[in-house]
């Protein structure tokens, strides 16, 4: 094996697409997937590659310092792609400490372990921290987040991610730890946990349940197909410059209400329902506390320096996504059979 790459959070939504890409594209790399399998982690996401000889799953929690140190000493990874996180804003509002534990303390455990095993020969090593555009705060009707935009996180989730970004940079300046960071906009696609807007809407439309839209549905997000994010991660991991940050976005802004109307149209067609049927399910509910108005990413640095561009237009991406969820009913049923019902009623019943 030419390299050992430790991917954290590889059983989650984005992580599973990154693991699959790496395992298939680099047969001479040993790909380790370190994941605690929280409610968001699901090994079903990786069924197609689980028996590949260059892949190994390690169940472990990044908040467990001893376990993290042991894994680094045993496997001595050449690179880390760190995706493990608590990732849902609404959950961060009801339980902020879980986000501090995993996103901040967990990240510091990984940084310390990498520093300790890499200190003699750091030059060919790389700690790649996957972050979010939410660290930059909220935009008005115009403008874009660039890599120079000052951090202004406004939810417990984004504050925990911003904090972890600062930790990564501090470990670079203080301990010479080689790193890259990327900050990406909203992802969509197969295998996303249905607490997030798009899979939640698809699942509710399918079952003719109401589609909850926070506030007036005027908030804007910039949507990127998850495999395009995974491709950007591959590029940045291999060709990004040490110590640099790259923004990744879809250049694809939608208000939530327009996005949901679009999904309703695609679903009506896919399910042979009358045009307009699904839109009747739209229900405006109490707004998210501190709801960021608009995110929009300027990815020109990544596009110019590393020649990345999204491969899919939104029209095609959303049709593919709807089709995936409709074709993978068993995946959805497994995911919502556990604690999901309790979460759903806690989150939505009093709105
Ligand atoms: P996800 O919630 O789907 O998956 C997170 C994964 O991390 C799960 O497999 C979970 O089991 C694992 N995990 C959680 N806590 C852990 C712990 N303590 N130890 C080990 N593993 C743990 O998240 P996602 O949407 O795939 O996001 C992945 C990363 O990308 C996160 O860092 C997130 O901040 C970032 N990100 C997400 C988006 C998005 O739109 N989803 C956009 C930009 C950046
Ligand atoms: O921008 C990147 C971020 O995108 C990632 O860092 C996060 O991990 C990811 O969860 C996502 O955060 P958002 O809060 O933007 O995604 P979510 O799918 O939760 O919500 C998208 C928009 O839809 C947001 O404006 C809130 C709104 N929404 C969400 C839900 C779950 C609703 O109107 N109704 C809902 O039921």
- Per-residue pLDDT reduced to its tens digit, 158-186: 999 999 999 999 999 999 999 999 999 99
Are 35 and 15 within 8 A, CB to CB?
Answer: yes
CATH number at residue 63: 3.40.50.720
Residue 133 in any domain: the answer is yes
Residue 147 in any domain: the answer is yes
Residue 115 in any domain: the answer is yes
Residue 177 in any domain: the answer is yes
Q: What is the pLDDT of residue 1?
A: 80
- Binding site membership of 9 for ligand 1 (Cβ less than 6 Å): yes
Q: How sure is the predictor about 247, in pLDDT bands with cuts at 50, 70 and 90? A: very high
**Which ligand 1 atom is the nearest neighbour of the CA of 191?**
3
- Binding site membership of 212 for ligand 2 (Cβ less than 6 Å): yes
Q: What is the pLDDT of residue 181?
A: 99
Compute the distance from residue 339 Cα to the ligand 2 centre, in Å: 20
Are 222 and 253 within 8 A, CB to CB?
Answer: yes
Catalytic residues: 133-134, 157
Are 145 and 183 within 8 A, CB to CB?
Answer: yes
102-132 confidence digits (pLDDT tens): 999 999 999 999 999 999 888 999 999 999 9
**Which ligand 1 atom is the nearest neighbour of the CA of 11?**
9
- Binding site membership of 161 for ligand 1 (Cβ less than 6 Å): yes
Are 28 and 2 within 8 A, CB to CB?
Answer: yes
Q: How sure is the predictor about 216, in pLDDT bands with cuts at 50, 70 and 90? A: very high
Residue 265 in any domain: the answer is no
Q: Judge whether residue 351 has pLDDT over 90.
A: no
Residue 94 in any domain: the answer is yes
Residue 43 in any domain: the answer is yes
Which of 164, 221, 250, 348 has most ligand 2 atoms within 8 Å of CB, for mutation? 221
Residue 279 in any domain: the answer is no
- Binding site membership of 86 for ligand 2 (Cβ less than 6 Å): no
Domain count for the chain, please give it: 1
Q: What is the pLDDT of residue 157?
A: 98
The residue segments making up the domain with residue 68 are: 3-188+224-249+292-312
């Amino acid at each position: 094996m030419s390299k050992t790459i430790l991917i954290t959070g590889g059983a989650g939504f984005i992580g599973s697409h990154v693991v699959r890409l790496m395992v298939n594209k680099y047969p001479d790399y040993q790909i380790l997937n370190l994941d605690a399998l929280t409610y968001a982690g699901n090994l079903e996401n990786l069924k197609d590659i689980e028996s590949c000889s260059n892949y190994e799953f390690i169940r472990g929690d990044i908040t467990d310092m001893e376990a993290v140190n042991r894994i680094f000493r045993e496997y001595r990874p050449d690179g880390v792609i760190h995706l493990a996180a608590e990732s849902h804003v609404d959950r961060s509002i009801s339980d902020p400490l879980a986000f501090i534990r995993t996103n901040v303390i967990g990240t510091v455990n990984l940084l310390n372990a990498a520093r300790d095993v890499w200190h003699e020969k750091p030059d060919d090593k790389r700690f790649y921290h996957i972050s979010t555009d939410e660290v930059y705060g909220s935009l008005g009707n115009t403008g874009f987040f660039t890599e120079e935009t000052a951090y202004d996180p406004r939810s417990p989730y984004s504050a925990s991610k911003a904090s972890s970004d600062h930790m990564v940079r501090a470990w670079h300046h203080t301990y010479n730890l080689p790193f890259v960071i990327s900050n990406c906009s909203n992802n969509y696609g197969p295998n996303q946990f249905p607490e997030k807007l798009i899979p939640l809407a698809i699942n509710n439309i399918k079952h003719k349940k109401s589609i909850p839209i926070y506030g007036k549905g005027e908030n804007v997000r910039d949507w990127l197909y998850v495999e395009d994010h995974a491709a950007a991660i591959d590029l940045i991991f291999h060709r990004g410059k040490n110590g640099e940050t790259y923004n990744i976005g879809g250049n694809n802004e939608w208000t939530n209400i327009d996005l949901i109307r679009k999904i309703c149209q695609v679903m009506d067609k896919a399910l042979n329902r009358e045009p307009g049927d699904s839109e009747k399910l739209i229900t405006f509910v109490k707004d998210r506390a501190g709801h960021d108005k608009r995110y929009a990413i300027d990815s020109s640095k990544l596009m110019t320096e590393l020649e990345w561009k999204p491969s899919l237009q939104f029209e095609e991406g959303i049709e593919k996504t709807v089709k995936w969820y409709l074709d993978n009913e068993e995946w959805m049923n497994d995911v919502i059979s556990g604690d999901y019902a309790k979460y759903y009623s806690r989150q939505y019943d009093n709105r």
